[in-house]
Amino acid sequence: MTRSKIEWDVNASTSRAVKTLLVIKFALVGGVILFVGTSLLLAFAGQYAIGTTMPEFVGILVIAIAVPILLFYTVLRTLAGSGTKRTIALYYFYDPAHPDRTIFDLAHYTQYVAAATVGLFGYLGAIFIFGFRTDVVLTLAIVSAAFCYFLWWIIPNRGRLDIESETLILYNRRLLTEGGSASTRNLLRGFSNDDRQTSLEDVIATRSVWVDDIVILTLRHRSGYAPTLVVVPPQVANLLGRKYGS
């Protein structure tokens, strides 16, 4: 790649910010799964907890917490394998910047189990803070998890800046409503298999938000089109800012 063409690859293995987002997503989503599992076990064991001593009650509580964590660990360990298990993981635990990779290629599955466990204890602690208002905690958790999923869907990406032709190219454009030329599997996962090219000739201004080692960049166009939003490394953001910034 020449100096007039700069490629980037923003994903959890190249960016601290993206990896942190992935961990937070697993803490929120995995924490909810573990919390629901723990709640169901406690509800089932509640009929046997009446009249028990404190050590027996603590034992029931430990089991109710440990069993969902163990099951979650087993599921992730299985999906981190090869063959059919990897095919399933490619549907539900893919890397948005690389259709052929899963999140288990980015970090060991035990890290995700640890994040979910932290999320579980965070929810349990929040319930005590909110006076056992489980509905409030779950509502906040679901909204936060959905927001993290949205960020995880749009932030990791690969692309190229062609300085000579003033073109910004995003590889394997992510889908919103339009189709693409990808296989059915990739289309279902949101990958178009088409590159999105944005001309920079009519860009009149840029706005940037720095988040650790990535930059969320907005390009304003003279033609009045909707602004272009792209996540790039600082090097690319600096180049665009110097030439098109206002």
What local confidence, expressed as pLDDT, does residue 65 receive? 93
Q: Is 34:75 a contact under the CB 8 Å cutoff?
A: no
pLDDT one-digit tens code per residue, 64-85: 999 999 999 999 999 998 889 9
Secondary structure element (H or E) that encloses residue 217, with its range: strand 214-221
pLDDT at 177 exceeding the cut of 50: no
| Pairwise CA distance, residues 59 & 62, whole Å | 5
Q: Is 127:134 a contact under the CB 8 Å cutoff?
A: yes
Q: Is 47:134 a contact under the CB 8 Å cutoff?
A: no
**In which band, very low, low, confident or very high, does the pLDDT at 182 lie, cut at 50, 70 and 90?**
low
- Average pLDDT value for residue range 118-145: 86
Specify which of 70-74, 144-148, 159-163, 173-177 reaches the highest per-range mean pLDDT: 70-74
Q: Token digits for 190?
A: 């949101």
